[in-house]
Structure 1
Amino acid sequence: MNITEGRLRWLLRRGMKELDVLMERYYASRYHTAPREEKAAFLRLITLAEDPDIWAWIMGYAEPPDEYAALIAQLRTHR
């Protein structure tokens, strides 16, 4: 997925303030050095997944799909 820096920064702004903070923390501290597969999963997550689902996965209220499991583990470290 080819996405501009500006568009990516815009997509980090979620419908929940808590997710805004979490996504910004992850982006600032991990995204640029993350493996290519993790970056691709992150882009899919922020473009395809719904905020309530993302929140439930990060907080452990629901199990994430396999394609996001490793990424969700990384996001949890930025809560």
Structure 2
Amino acid sequence: MYTEEDVRRLKWQSRRGMLELDVLFVPFVEEAFSDLDEADQDRFVKLLACEDTDLFVWLMEREEPADPDLQRIVRIILDRVQPAKD
């Protein structure tokens, strides 16, 4: 279980200095992280440990992560910000 202090740290770590990542990660931590189950929270923490260049290509959907855990959390983030397709 992640404490409020943990979430504050994650919010800080979500500020990557690359606008495309910041606009996805910071609101995600603020608005959605606490609602994730613990396994998905752990996946998000794992995602934050990745290199910005990898994060960028994954979140811009140019490539998919090889790791299924990272694939899942990337999809959760993208589904949250992309409108549903009819």
Asked whether the two chains share a fold, i.e. TM above 0.5, the reply is yes
AA of the residue aligned to 1:60? E
In terms of mean alpha carbon deviation, does 30-39 or 56-65 score higher?
Answer: 56-65
Partner of 2:35: 33
> Is the 2:11–2:30 Cα contact (8 Å) retained in structure 1?
no
Note closer, same or farther for the CA distance 1:31–1:6 as it changes in structure 2 (3 Å cut): closer
AA of the residue aligned to 2:55? I
Partner of 2:24: 22
Measured after TM superposition, the shift of residue 75 of structure 1 is 1.1
Measured after TM superposition, the shift of residue 15 of structure 1 is 2.6
Counterpart-to-counterpart distance in 1, 2:30 and 2:74:
16
- Whichever of the two has the greater Rg, that structure is 2
Report the TM-score, using the length of structure 1 for normalisation: 0.83
AA of the residue aligned to 1:11? Q
AA of the residue aligned to 2:36? A
Unaligned 5+ segments in structure 1 are none
Please tell me the root mean square deviation across aligned C-alpha atoms, in Å.
Answer: 2.0
Structure 1 runs of 4+ with >4 Å offset = none
Partner of 2:56: 55
Give the aligned length: 78
Instruction: Find the partner of 1:73 among 54, 72, 75.
Output: 75
Unaligned 5+ segments in structure 2 are none
Measured after TM superposition, the shift of residue 21 of structure 1 is 1.1
